Structure 1
Amino acid sequence: MKIKFALPVLLLQALTYNSFAQKGNAKAFSFAEHQTDVLLQETEKAKAVATKPGVFSPRSINPDGSLILVNSKDWCSGFFPGEMWFLYEYSGNANWKTKAEPFTTTMEAEQTNGGTHDMGFKVYCSVGNAYRLTHDAHYKDVIIQSAKTLCTRFNPTVGCIKSWDNRKEWKYPVIIDNMMNLELLFEATKLTGDSSFYKIAVTHANTTMKNHFRADYSSYHVIDYDPETGKVMHKQTHQGFADESAWARGQAWGLYGYTMCYRETGDKAYLQQAENIAKFIFSNPNMTKDLVPYWDYNDTAIPNVPRDASAASIMASALYELSACSENGKNYKNTADKIIKSLNDNYQTKPDSTHGFLLLHSTGHKPAKSEIDVPIIYADYYYLEALLRQKRLADNKPVINTTGALKN
């Protein structure tokens, strides 16, 4: 009898859990729509009294509780328009498209800004989502120009795109975050047929895989190269606890970046890299029970240190995609579901609070004493992306929506 009923019981448990996940997903999006309207209102209020020119997009909250707005040059400027495009994708409500468009237009100025590696964060998270959901040819042109600009930062001798300029302590710094900007280049090849973008993305990913990772698949934050020879000069973890520590968000960038690279290339070396990074993260003895990590896995003051909900959001989004292409997919999806449940249950802000942000307890740059235990816009962005991916899997659809424009 036990054998006879084992499969139906397991199926019932799976369906019940999926039902709870779907209800939580719908509730989270309802909350997100409400809060984003609040954040829009708060943004307009803050703009009216702003003293810095060109600020328009929310980033975080100051220690005095005031809203931080940034201009388009800030690396976080594209996340808020991206959030509104996600809400349009989820709801089909054209009002979100209307609200996203002026923010997206402001981001277009960055397409020729060759002084930054953050073109993916800024342009692809905003204009890229706009093009994906509308197929407006103008957005396509902006994506292509942005990719061309990003390629000007590539040094073939090093084999990487340079991250930061005008930093005395480094000659040619490359940060793990830079993996997130490669999706823009892959997209540019698909839009133009020009393989040079693809080749630069693959070269950067391969060089990073060779030099950024330790034997246990944890990652350094910064690798400094000699631009003349391509030789590695220094390995550091600038935003983490120590150079040899595992900064939580850095590990999340790597997980997401190599999962995306596998999607775009089919190269199983990238899939294996993503799986090894996931193994490091989720077998780490300092990983928390609720799977929202401490800001650095090696901080010696654990557990009395800040969490980083942004790292959790990035990991959840990456794991949903990884679940669709890995033999270990069921475990990855279950882990992502657990992260989302933790964020929903214990890290959401209260309705109408925190100027309209979605998640509490993110950590930006602790060594610089910047944005510690606060809402940060990129935590909200990847949280919404993870929710969209969770919903698509529950609806038996491909985890990544690349099927075309929405119709209203």
Structure 2
Amino acid sequence: MKFSKKVGGGLLIVILVTSCFSEKKEAASLNLDKILESNVLKTKETLKTLVSADSFPRNVEKGSRNWKLVGVKDWCSGFWPGVLWYAYEASGDEYIKKEAEKFTLPIKQIAYSSASDHDIGFQVYCSFGNGYRLTGNTEYKEVMLAAADTLATLYNPIVGSIHSWPMKPQYPHNTIIDNMMNLELLFWAAKNGGSKRLYDIAESHAEVTMKNLVRPDYSTYHLGAFDNKTGAFLRGVAHQGYADNSMWARGQTWGIYGLAFSYRETGRDDFLDTSIKLADKFLERLPQDGIPFWDFDDPKIPNAPKDASAAAIAACGMLELANFVKEDALKNKYYNAAKGFIDLLSTDKYLSGNKNQGLLLHSTGHHPKNSEIDEPIIYADYYYMEALLRLKNWKS
């Protein structure tokens, strides 16, 4: 009986998410303009409190109104300049552009330093990548090409993937699902003056992740441990999830989005098919209110914390999917699912309003370490802004 209730709830939420957002896209665009305008104004207000270009918002702790700041080497450093670039894209405001340039510049050092972990893509592509896309600044291009080469130094050809966390010796070679997002930097570089080897590394990493971190039921492991001498897959590990066999919400969305753009870059149908199945698994397991808990298998559900960041990343990933699936029914399914997440995140329940400097409430960072639980987190804001702009610019 428990099982049938769970399945019933999943089917209900798929219907709700994919069917209940039938208003005209023109009407939706008007609403998107208002949301983006509000987000831009709030971002400008936040800028007034940030005095150092090498200190970046990461999260808003309970009891605080202001962002907790981190340095350049924090894995989240690129998201704040990314938010600024998106705010500039939405508004055309030259003041925001100058601030985006100011906060982007300090991250340059990442591209020219030894790689300590896989987060180079998050740090550099979200900042310099968006800056280059919007300005064509050739200096930004050079930084990105250097960053791609630096990221590639972590590649282990025996395993066929990038070593995500060298600082964790208990896993001689590890690949985490988050690392799928860093492949976009490699794919971009291979098309823009970098070595063809960067493409090969990205494709191989995506394949190894797909074959080993995706379970037979199309949920995902957070971390895959490999023998660094033989390349053999040893085991899957939860790390930031509830248990080794649980479905960590944000990890699932990294997989959806990363494999979708890996299909875009390679044309490999197995990448697209796997992304579709990960997305369907995510939709099937959503709770009835449409926003995931931090882990779908936390026994404390419904009293477990939500993860708005996972919903924002899912929206981006499903809009990516909607671009590539062939059948109209699937295009509508993933478009409507993405729009459903954005609609829900744009309600008073999830928008921060005047509560604090973040855009979104209710994200969860590292639950097993009791870190960033039910707080605004900068990557939630980044992918929320990306999703809003992608939806606004959507061409069916």
For residues 107 and 194 of structure 2, what CA distance do their matches in structure 1 show?
25
- Tell me the CA shift for residue 346 of structure 1: 3.7
Moved more, 73-82 or 231-240: 231-240
* Equivalent position amino acid for 1:24 in 2: N
Which residue is equivalent to 1:115?
116
Give CA-to-partner distance per residue, 1:230-249, whole Å, 9 cap, x none: 11222111001101000000
| Alpha-carbon contact 1:84-1:96 (below 8 Å) kept | yes
- For residues 225-264 of structure 1, the aligned pairs below 5 Å read 225-264=226-265
Identity of aligned residues (%): 44
Which residue is equivalent to 2:303?
304
For residues 279 and 91 of structure 2, what CA distance do their matches in structure 1 show?
31
For residues 336 and 169 of structure 1, what CA distance do their matches in structure 2 show?
38
- For residues 354-373 of structure 1, the aligned pairs below 5 Å read 354=356, 356-373=357-374
Which residue is equivalent to 1:192?
193
| 1:338 maps onto 2:304 in alignment | no
For residues 150 and 284 of structure 2, what CA distance do their matches in structure 1 show?
39
For residues 163 and 344 of structure 1, what CA distance do their matches in structure 2 show?
33
Which residue is equivalent to 1:318?
317
Which residue is equivalent to 1:144?
145
DSSP-derived class of the 2:393 partner: helix
- Tell me the CA shift for residue 313 of structure 1: 0.2
For residues 234 and 373 of structure 2, what CA distance do their matches in structure 1 show?
30
Structure 1 residues without counterparts, runs of 5 or longer:
1-12, 48-53, 398-408
Which residue is equivalent to 2:216?
215
Per the normalisation by structure 2, the TM-score is: 0.90
| Alpha-carbon contact 2:37-2:91 (below 8 Å) kept | no
Which residue is equivalent to 2:33?
26
- Of 23, 39, 43 in structure 1, the residue corresponding to residue 46 of structure 2 is 39
- For residues 109-188 of structure 1, the aligned pairs below 5 Å read 109-113=109-113, 114-188=115-189
DSSP-derived class of the 1:223 partner: strand
For residues 250 and 42 of structure 2, what CA distance do their matches in structure 1 show?
24
For residues 157 and 14 of structure 1, what CA distance do their matches in structure 2 show?
47
For residues 348 and 317 of structure 1, what CA distance do their matches in structure 2 show?
17
Moved more, 301-310 or 345-354: 345-354
Structure 2 residues without counterparts, runs of 5 or longer:
1-19
| Alpha-carbon contact 2:345-2:351 (below 8 Å) kept | no
| Alpha-carbon contact 1:321-1:389 (below 8 Å) kept | no
Which residue is equivalent to 1:353?
355
For residues 255 and 332 of structure 1, what CA distance do their matches in structure 2 show?
11
For residues 42 and 17 of structure 1, what CA distance do their matches in structure 2 show?
39
| Alpha-carbon contact 2:249-2:295 (below 8 Å) kept | yes
DSSP-derived class of the 1:374 partner: coil
- Tell me the CA shift for residue 19 of structure 1: 3.5
DSSP-derived class of the 2:29 partner: helix
| Alpha-carbon contact 2:84-2:96 (below 8 Å) kept | yes
DSSP-derived class of the 2:192 partner: helix
For residues 171 and 194 of structure 1, what CA distance do their matches in structure 2 show?
27
Number of residue equivalences: 372
Which residue is equivalent to 2:205?
204
Give CA-to-partner distance per residue, 1:64-90, whole Å, 9 cap, x none: 425310111000000010111111112
For residues 348 and 134 of structure 1, what CA distance do their matches in structure 2 show?
32
- Tell me the CA shift for residue 290 of structure 1: 3.1
- For residues 354-393 of structure 1, the aligned pairs below 5 Å read 354=356, 356-393=357-394
For residues 278 and 75 of structure 1, what CA distance do their matches in structure 2 show?
25
- Tell me the CA shift for residue 15 of structure 1: 8.0
Would the alpha carbon gap of residues 151 and 370 (structure 1) be closer, same or farther in structure 2, given more than 3 Å must change?
A: same
Would the alpha carbon gap of residues 55 and 87 (structure 1) be closer, same or farther in structure 2, given more than 3 Å must change?
A: closer
* Equivalent position amino acid for 1:321 in 2: E
- Tell me the CA shift for residue 268 of structure 1: 1.3
| Alpha-carbon contact 2:322-2:332 (below 8 Å) kept | yes
DSSP-derived class of the 1:324 partner: helix
Which residue is equivalent to 1:81?
81
Per the normalisation by structure 1, the TM-score is: 0.88
For residues 193 and 350 of structure 1, what CA distance do their matches in structure 2 show?
41
